A and B are shown apart, each in its own frame.
Chain A
Amino acid sequence: MRHVWKLTPVSCYDLSGLESWLESLAAQGLFPKKIRPVRSVFTRGTPRPVRYRIEYCKKAGRDGLPQDLVELYREFGWDYAGPLPNRTLLLFSTQNPQAEEPHTDPPLQGELLEQLLRKLKQELWVSAACLLLLAVLLVWTFRTPFPLLYWVKSFTPFYGAASILFGIVALFQQGRDYRRLSRAVRQLKDGVPLPHPIAYPRRTWSQIIAALLCIGLLFTIYFHPILETWELNFAPEPQVEDYFIPLSLQELEGGSPMFYGHTYLDHSPLCWDQVRVVQSDQERRENARIRLELSWYRPLFPSLAQPMARDLLLSALPLDGDGWWSAPAREWDNWTVTEYKLDGVDWCAVAFQPEGAFQAAALAGNGQAVLVQYTGHGDLTGHLDGLAAMVQ
Chain B
Amino acid sequence: MGSSHRGPLTEPMFYVLMSFLRRDMCGTEITEFVERRTRGRVKLGPGTLYTLLGKFQDEQLIQETEVEGRKRTYHITPKGRQVFQDELERLRACVADAEEEGFV
Contact = CB atoms under 8 A, between A and B. Distances in A.
Interface stretch (A24-32, A109-117, A356-364): A109-117
Interface stretch (A64-72, A221-229, A294-302, A320-328): A64-72
- Chain A's interface: helix, strand, loop or mixed, by majority? helix
Contacts of A190: none
- Chain B's interface: helix, strand, loop or mixed, by majority? helix
Contact of B45 (A67, A69, A71, A76): A76
Given A69-B50, A115-B1, A107 B43 contact: no
B13 A72 contact: no
Given A72-B50, A112-B51, A104 B27 contact: no
Interface string A82-122: 00000000000000000011111101110110010000000
Nearest to A57: B50
Given A68-B72, A111-B1, A73 B46 contact: yes
A104 B28 contact: no
A55 B54 CA distance: 14
A105 B50 CA distance: 12
B30 to A, nearest CB: 11
Contacts of B43: 100-101, 104
B47 A109 contact: yes
Given A68-B70, A105-B52, A112-B51, A76 B10 contact: no
A71 B50 CA distance: 11
B48 A103 contact: yes
A53 interface: yes
Contact of B48 (A69, A71, A102): A102
Given A76-B45, A108-B12, 8 more contacts: A72-B27, A72-B46, A100-B46, A102-B46, A108-B55, A109-B48, A109-B51, A115-B1
7 contacts: A68-B70, A69-B46, A72-B46, A103-B48, A108-B13, A108-B48, A111-B55
Interface of B: 1, 10-13, 27-28, 42-52, 55, 70, 72
Closest 9 CB pairs of A and B: A102-B47, A76-B46, A105-B12, A102-B45, A103-B47, A104-B45, A73-B46, A105-B48, A72-B46
